[in-house]
Amino acid sequence: MKLARNGTGPEIFESLQGEGVSAGTPSVFVRLSLCNLHCRWCDTPYTWNWVGTSYAHDSDTPGAPRKYRREDEIVELDIEKIAAHVLTFRARNFVLTGGEPLVQGRELARLAALLRERDPACRFEIETNGTLVPPPELDAFVAQYNVSPKLANSANTPAEREKAESLRFFAACERAWFKFVAASPADLDEIRQIQTRYVIPAGRILLMPEGTSSEALRDKARWLAPLCQEHGYRLGDRLHVHLFGNKRGV
Ligand code: SF4
């Protein structure tokens, strides 16, 4: 399985879930490499923005786009090694994130099966951009999907970011929570259109303020709060930003 590299090892760490309906839950994060999208504000571009690609990113400087060498950013580990590593932590809530973890959905299913065999208390959450349908052998282990469909501000084309089959799958799945990152009031129109098109229950939608500082999150939460009340959405937050700032692997 291809995991993101952090220093000399894979990006696996224990922390509190910072976002979504299980925010605050002690969790082990497993960050997989590879993504099928290319969001221009992505905070994990080291999982996909490889040398030789032409994707634009906010961290680019004129004439010198910031790119990553694939061979430097991926750690390839078999599921036995990953299972042994993650079980050294205390938490048994596993957040499988990326990149886009469902790119490696079949390998994740084997990892989840092995972990559940070793400890029946293992619980799995998947963070996904909502463009891929999880394979059934993985779905059988998943307690919660945190689905974050991307909007026009991500710079992915509509055909890339909006996949009807998978959005219908998640809309119909009661274990799926939709987390929309809202940067401006204009994003609300697009969110409402996606909700209507795929019949997503309002009670499973969270609006999460965009921002990498407590101040920015608070400012956006102020205008998001009344919108949540108006439409029946939940207001999300980014706990890890308040606790740790915008740091990687905490
Ligand atoms: S889908 Fe997620 S990981 Fe992929 S580019 Fe967008 S923000 Fe980054």
Residue range 155-211, pLDDT digits in tens: 999 999 999 999 999 999 999 999 999 888 889 999 999 999 999 999 999 999 888
42 lines ligand 1 (CB under 6 A): yes
Amino acid sitting at position 149: P
pLDDT of 245: 82
Tens-digit pLDDT profile for residues 202-237: 999 999 988 888 998 999 899 999 999 999 999 998
Q: Could you identify the atom of ligand 1 that is nearest to the CA of residue 36?
A: 4
Q: What is the DSSP letter of 35?
A: -
Cα separation of the two ends of the chain: 22
Sign of CA dihedral 217, 214, 86, 36: positive
pLDDT band at 75 (very low <50, low <70, confident <90, very high): very high
Is residue 26 over pLDDT 90? yes
Q: Could you identify the atom of ligand 1 that is nearest to the CA of residue 154?
A: 6
Overall CATH class of domain 2-174? alpha beta
Summarize the confidence of residues 113-124 as an average pLDDT: 98
Q: Alpha helix locations (H) across the chain?
A: 70-73, 79-86, 105-118, 136-139, 158-161, 164-172, 187-198, 214-231, 239-244
Summarize the confidence of residues 140-149 as an average pLDDT: 98
Q: How far apart are CA 116 and CA 121, in angstroms?
A: 7
pLDDT of 240: 87
Separation of 192 CA from ligand 1 center, angstroms? 21
Using DSSP's 3-state secondary structure scheme, residue 135 falls into coil
Is this structure's pTM higher than 0.85? yes
- The sheet with strand 74-76 has its strands ordered as 9-10, 2-6, 74-76
